[in-house]
Amino acid sequence: MRESKIWMATSSQHKYAEARDILADFGVQLERIQVNRIEIQSDDPADIVVYSLRQLKDDGRPMVMEDAGLFLERYGGFPGPYSSYALEKLDNPGILKLMEGVEDRRASYQSAVAIRTGEDIEVFRGFVWGKISRSIKGTVGFGYDPIFIPDEGDGRTFGEMSEEEKNAISHRARAFRSLGAWLTGSEEGF
């Protein structure tokens, strides 16, 4: 597959900016379009993006969607793909309240990126393991970034890292690097 320009259907400027920066490293230009989409309820972000892509009218452009979530080990993966809803209702202080007195603070951020080219849909996943901090730290990023400490880091939350530091290890960056490698036929990213 050799694509130099693709489109991302998202309402999130933050997700788009992260994806655009990652794909630029592969020489792939990412454009953004706003769409109203039906988001099914599923425990797997890949099911959500594949379903959503199938609902979009195919206008011949390669189209990408991404879904991600924060998965708390202590709560069986909650909020997972329901992370946007949980963030809206609880916000980071609510998640920290939920984790009060909990010793098992292990968590993962997971991302699923799907691309539709014609009838074909390919899915790429990215994972990063870490833990939930005991307080909100940092003002960079969005979502759960100020309470997620990646295992591969130096003890800081994603909210305390620069965009470049986060993009070196984040779940979304890993999924989009795999997409970029697939689009350009390179081995980088896998």
Q: Looking at the annotation, which residues are catalytic?
A: 67
Please list, residue by residue across 108-140, b when 16 or more beta carbons sit within 10 angstroms of its beta carbon and e when fewer do: bbbbbbbbbbeeebbbbbbebebbbbeebbbeb
* φ, ψ (nearest 5 deg) of residue 168: -75, -25
| Separation in Å, CA 110 to CA 56, 137, 138 | 23, 21, 21
- Alpha carbon of residue 160 to chain centroid: 18
3-state SS assignment for residue 103 = coil
For 5, how many CA atoms within 13 A lie in the half-sphere containing its CB? Answer: 4
Distance CA 94, CA 99 (A): 9
